[in-house]
């Protein structure tokens, strides 16, 4: 059995928070690491200087880190959280696993200083990216008013991310990305050498295969009558995920004589017309909504690799998405439906053949399950642990 590791994980949320795809993935791999005999401590931010006491969550040690003073600065909470977390890192740890801007330059720098001071092989510093925050910032720039104050705000945010996220990536012993496309973003935006970038695809929870009876009951519980198609959409950042495009596609399908509703999951956008919103839901409700759907639609504008695509595929729901989702394995048209260009009209055109052919839905769903929905969290965790041990042994991963 491999020697156990002491791993410090810097997370944007408490590991019990399941509404965010990143945190949900982190929670799963942290539990898997503990199950493999390792010690894992998760640091997460709490507003205020009187955070809850450190505690245990499903075998994972959890340490809340308070922040309050720097909230007026660009990315001030992230800066302060990273600084306070860096001060709590213990000399005996083997690995620091930071994520995006939340565990940026201060945490990675502290890990490297600990290694130099103790003369040990660790801690090694790994910076993981499920998307590049600087790219998210650039994506939203067009939505800001073209006035002096918004322009100055954008530049301040840009500088903060260059330090937090870019500084962490440059200082890390290795950068882990959830898709090769994110690796290309790191090289283009921060100049990270390709040799220090490692692709580890996300996993997904094993799911029981839905039965026809479960699907019929799920549709019945939602009041979906025969002849009405149901499409699922899931995401909190509704503009980036393309809720406007999905809504427009549903409207066009209804105008063409195909009764269709959109089951909108995971955000606060209210129900309106053919859009039925459910907000943040528990795992059982999420399963019921996906199982009731004829297809899962994610017309996203930018992703690392969306966990929701894999979750839908794991439930044998055909996936319709864009090239920006960075689904890098499987074949478009066989394992999932690729929309181009990313418009409501093109999305409706891509969905329409699925709704009129149950056989086509079934074929894409089964192929999609094999290619997209069958990779498990234990595979993802095993690849992380192999990278950690390679770095500790003096390798490059």
Please report the DSSP string for 344-389 in residue order: HHHHHHHHHHHHH-HHHHHHHHHHHHHHTS--BHHHHHHHHHHHHH
8 Å CB contact between 9 and 30? yes
pLDDT of 274-330, one tens digit each?
A: 999 999 999 999 999 999 999 999 999 999 888 999 999 999 999 999 999 999 988
Per DSSP, the three-state class of 93 is coil
Q: In this structure, what token pair is assigned to residue 20? A: 């965010």
pLDDT level of residue 396 (50, 70, 90 thresholds):
low
Break the chain into its structural domains and give their ranges: 6-203+377-392, 212-371
Same-fold call for 6-203+377-392 versus 212-371:
yes
Query: Which is the CATH superfamily of the domain at 6-203+377-392?
Result: Glycogen Phosphorylase B; (3.40.50.2000)
Q: Does 150 score more than 90 pLDDT?
A: no
pLDDT of 361-373, one tens digit each?
A: 999 999 999 999 9
Tell me what the mean pLDDT of segment 252-259 comes to.
97
The neighbour count for residue 321, using CB atoms within 10 Å, is 27
pLDDT at 73: 86
The mean-pLDDT minimum among 132-141, 153-162, 186-195 falls in: 132-141
pLDDT of 28-82, one tens digit each?
A: 999 999 999 999 999 999 999 889 999 999 999 999 999 988 888 889 999 999 9
pLDDT at 164: 94
8 Å CB contact between 123 and 89? yes
Distance CA 71, CA 83 (A): 13
Q: Name the nearest CA neighbour of 368 among 384, 354, 347.
A: 354
CATH architecture of 212-371: 3-Layer(aba) Sandwich (3.40)
pLDDT of 209-245, one tens digit each?
A: 999 999 999 999 999 999 999 999 999 999 999 999 9
Distance CA 36, CA 165 (A): 30
Percent helix / strand / coil, the chain, rounded to 5: 45, 20, 35
End-to-end CA distance of the chain: 20
pLDDT at 397: 47
**Which alpha helices (H) appear in 46-202, and where do they start and end?**
76-88, 105-118, 133-141, 148-161, 167-171, 180-190
Q: In this structure, what token pair is assigned to residue 76? A: 């001030």
pLDDT of 336-359, one tens digit each?
A: 999 999 999 999 999 999 999 999
């Amino acid at each position: 059995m491999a020697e156990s590791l002491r791993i410090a994980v810097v997370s944007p949320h408490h590991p019990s928070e399941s509404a965010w795809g990143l945190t949900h993935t982190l929670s799963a791999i942290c539990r898997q690491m503990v199950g493999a005999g390792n010690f894992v401590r998760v640091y997460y931010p709490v507003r205020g200087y009187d955070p809850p006491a450190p505690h245990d969550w499903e075998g994972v040690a959890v340490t809340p880190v308070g922040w309050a003073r720097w909230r007026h600065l660009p990315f001030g909470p992230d800066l302060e959280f990273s600084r306070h977390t860096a001060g709590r890192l213990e000399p005996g740890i083997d690995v620091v696993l930071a994520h995006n801007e939340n565990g940026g330059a201060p945490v990675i720098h502290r890990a490297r200083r600990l290694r130099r001071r103790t003369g040990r092989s660790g801690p090694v510093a790994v910076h993981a990216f499920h998307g590049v925050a600087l790219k998210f910032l650039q994506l939203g720039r067009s939505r800001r008013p073209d006035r002096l104050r918004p322009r100055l705000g954008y530049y301040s945010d840009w500088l903060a991310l260059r330090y937090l996220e870019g500084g962490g990536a440059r200082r890390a012993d290795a950068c882990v990305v959830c898709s090769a496309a994110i690796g290309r973003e790191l090289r283009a935006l921060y100049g990270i050498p390709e040799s220090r970038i490692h692709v580890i695809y996300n996993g997904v929870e094993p799911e029981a295969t839905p039965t026809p009876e479960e699907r019929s009951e799920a549709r019945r519980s939602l009041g979906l009558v025969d002849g009405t198609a149901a499409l699922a959409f899931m995401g909190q950042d509704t503009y980036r995920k393309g809720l406007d495009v999905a809504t427009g596609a549903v409207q066009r399908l209804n105008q063409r004589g195909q009764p269709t509703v959109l089951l909108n999951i995971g955000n606060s956008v209210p129900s309106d017309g053919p859009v039925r919103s459910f907000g943040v839901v528990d795992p059982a409700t999420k399963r019921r909504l996906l199982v009731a759907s004829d297809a899962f639609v994610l017309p996203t504008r930018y992703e690392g690799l969306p966990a929701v695509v894999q979750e839908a595929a794991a439930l044998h729901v055909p996936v319709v998405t864009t090239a920006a989702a960075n689904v890098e394995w499987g074949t478009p048209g066989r394992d999932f439906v690729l929309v181009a260009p990313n418009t409501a009209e093109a999305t409706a055109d891509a969905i329409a053949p699925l709704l009129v052919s149950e056989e086509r839905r079934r074929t894409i769903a089964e192929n999609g399950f094999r290619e997209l929905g069958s990779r498990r969290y234990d595979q993802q965790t095993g690849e992380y642990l192999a990278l950690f041990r390679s770095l500790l042994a003096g390798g490059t991963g």
